[in-house]
Chains A and B, each alone.
Chain A
Amino acid sequence: MEDENASISYFLGTDALGRDILSKIIAGARITVLVVVAAVGTGVIVGTTIGLVAGYFGGLIDDIVMRFVDAWNILPGLLIILVIVLVLEQSLETLIIVLAIVSWPGAVRLVRAETLSLKNREYVALARVAGASNTRIMIRHILPGVVNIVIVTATLGTGNIILLEASLSYLGAGIPPPEPSWGRMISEERQYIDAAWWTSLFPGLVIAMVVMSGNFLGDWFRDRVDPTLRQL
């Protein structure tokens, strides 16, 4: 029996059941990208909305929101996520919700801070004088000012979400089978690290590369958005 660790037809070798690693990585990409984009997207949209409202209206709403963000931040994230997966059914939807929960407090914090500084700008005051409604001011005048920074952090956060999904897979709480996921691939093939390193190495490298790309992309966006950091 041959080890299919490299050949033309199996560029990255095959796994314990003779399945092509590359095909699995490609198939896993779809689901991983879906989960990550959905989770980060949901988290960021919800977080941005809450942050905008809290920052714009201030007062009691702001206080309540920020205390909840604080509360979330002091809890051990991974443990709470695992408990949520435990009490909900383990499914793709649950996982997306859980990963979205991870991203929202950061977005709230960021957007709120930006909103606070933008809402006292002159052009916002002018808009208010011109009779624009609160909703309109938030959407047309403040949102464009915060959207850049949100995109930057969301991109930077993508890598962490992928790593988090991999960790959850390792603990048995990740993307449920039969959907292939990268984290699951590494987790399932870990027993062959000694004999068939390629089965877990390549998914690991793909995760590393995508996380790195996310970081580069985030850095690049940030340089575009914030010129003071451009040359660092």
Chain B
Amino acid sequence: MGQFIARRVLLGIIALMLAMLIVFSLSRVKGDPRYFFIGEDSLGIDPAVWEEWGRRLNLDKPVPIQFALWMGDILTGDFGDSVTTQRGVLEIIREKAPNTIQLGIIAWLLGTLVGVPLGVFSATNRGNFLDYVLRGFALFGQSVPIFWLALVMIFVFAVNLGWLPSGTKGEGLAIRNFVMPAVALAWFPAASYLRITRTAMLEILDSEFVKFARAKGVAQVPVRWKHAFRNAIIPPLTLSVFVLFGLLNGTIIIETVFAWPGLGRLAIDALWATDYPLLAGLAIIYGAAFVVMILSLDIVYALLDPRIKYN
């Protein structure tokens, strides 16, 4: 087990370093990277400052050395300053992250709590009218562009019915402000959960040991939940990590639509301002967070499913 985890950690670190290489390469695609580090000035930049930036980015050294030095900075926690705001990248991310994490976790819970039970329900009612309705919902949920859904929600629930605020996070803990962004974010994952749980449940319900339990005379409900669901949990569990990570992509759009002050908005702002240090910081922090999530998932797997072997 220890060896298994060690290997996983090593792989995670390698992946993270290669991810840094990808991010680094992007800044060098169009030649001189200084244009991504120095803000727009309208009348020109002092040649001395230009040279200074060349030194700071180690442009006089060969590219592999530049990368190594850059990676060294990042590993020691120095992500540099954002070009547009002159504030530390980590500081900015730390400031915005709670908003995205709150929204992401609420959406994640919402998606899970709606999607998984409906998946079980759909599986145990296979072929029913309800099954079709639910599967229809799942298909539709995976088929509409998320920004369009969000705009329609604003139009219906904020503008027309006036039930919910149109956007922004509001003051303090404004629960009403969470509703629409969270639902819009959870929509796609809920549909994915439903489909995956349904498939997994059907597979297990068809398996020998469930049939055996049934033959033994165990009642329907315990069979469903105790025997079948416990074994069908692995696919949705795997999915859940990817959903959580996928939500990060979703927040880029949802936070733009709802003026939500989180990392997604930050990413878009940084993108349009060509704020490379901030973009790189975001990508790497996201990557590191995901590596940690996958590692935890591996460990949970190992605890849950005795069939998984470590080597």
A→B interface (CB under 8 Å)? 67-68, 70-80, 82-84, 86-88, 159, 163, 166-167, 170-171, 183, 186-187, 190, 193-194, 200, 204, 207-209, 211-212, 215, 229, 232
| Count of A-B contacts judged by CB separation below 8 Å | 132
- A207 and B144 contacting across the interface, CB-CB below 8 Å: yes
Q: B202 is contacted by which of A72, A87, A193, A232 (Cβ under 8 Å)?
A: A232
Q: Which of B54-62, B89-97, B279-287 contacts A (4 or more CB under 8 A)?
A: B279-287
CA distance A67 to B199 in the complex (A): 30
Q: Which 9 A-B pairs have the closest CB atoms?
A: A71-B18, A70-B15, A211-B143, A208-B143, A166-B145, A78-B249, A74-B287, A71-B19, A76-B286
Chain B 125-145 interface mask (CB, 8 Å, partner A; 1/0): 000000000000001101111
- B148 and A70 contacting across the interface, CB-CB below 8 Å: no
- B23 and A193 contacting across the interface, CB-CB below 8 Å: no
CA distance A193 to B158 in the complex (A): 13
Chain B 270-311 interface mask (CB, 8 Å, partner A; 1/0): 010010000100110011001100100000000000000000
In this complex, how many residues of chain B approach chain A with their Cβ under 8 Å: the count is: 48
- A76 and B148 contacting across the interface, CB-CB below 8 Å: no
B→A interface (CB under 8 Å)? 11, 14-19, 21-23, 26, 29-30, 139-140, 142-148, 151-152, 155, 159-160, 199, 202-203, 245, 248-249, 252-253, 256, 267-268, 271, 274, 279, 282-283, 286-287, 290-291, 294
Q: Which residues of B have CB within 8 Å of A78?
A: 249, 252
Given A72-B22, A76-B267, A87-B30, list of 7 further CB < 8 A pairs? A74-B286, A75-B19, A80-B26, A83-B271, A187-B147, A232-B199, A232-B202
Most chain B beta-carbon neighbours within 10 Å: one of A70, A75, A80:
A75
CA distance A82 to B270 in the complex (A): 11
- B15 and A193 contacting across the interface, CB-CB below 8 Å: no
Given contacts A67-B14, A76-B282, A194-B159, contact A212 B146 (CB under 8 A): no
Q: Which residues of A have CB within 8 Å of B140?
A: 208, 212
CA distance A195 to B212 in the complex (A): 59
**How near does chain A come to B74, taking the closest CB pair, in angstroms?**
14
Q: Which residue of B lies closest to A203 (CB)?
A: B148
- B18 and A70 contacting across the interface, CB-CB below 8 Å: yes
- A74 and B16 contacting across the interface, CB-CB below 8 Å: yes
Given contacts A71-B15, A194-B159, contact A171 B143 (CB under 8 A): no
Q: Which residue of B lies closest to A215 (CB)?
A: B139
Q: Which residues of A have CB within 8 Å of B159?
A: 194
10 contacts between A and B (CB under 8 A): A71-B18, A77-B249, A78-B249, A80-B22, A87-B26, A204-B148, A208-B144, A211-B142, A212-B143, A215-B139
Q: Which residue of A lies closest to B274 (CB)?
A: A86
- B248 and A76 contacting across the interface, CB-CB below 8 Å: yes
- A79 and B18 contacting across the interface, CB-CB below 8 Å: no
Q: Which residue of A lies closest to B136 (CB)?
A: A212
- B253 and A171 contacting across the interface, CB-CB below 8 Å: yes
- A207 and B143 contacting across the interface, CB-CB below 8 Å: yes
**How near does chain A come to B58, taking the closest CB pair, in angstroms?**
20
- A71 and B16 contacting across the interface, CB-CB below 8 Å: yes
**How near does chain A come to B203, taking the closest CB pair, in angstroms?**
7
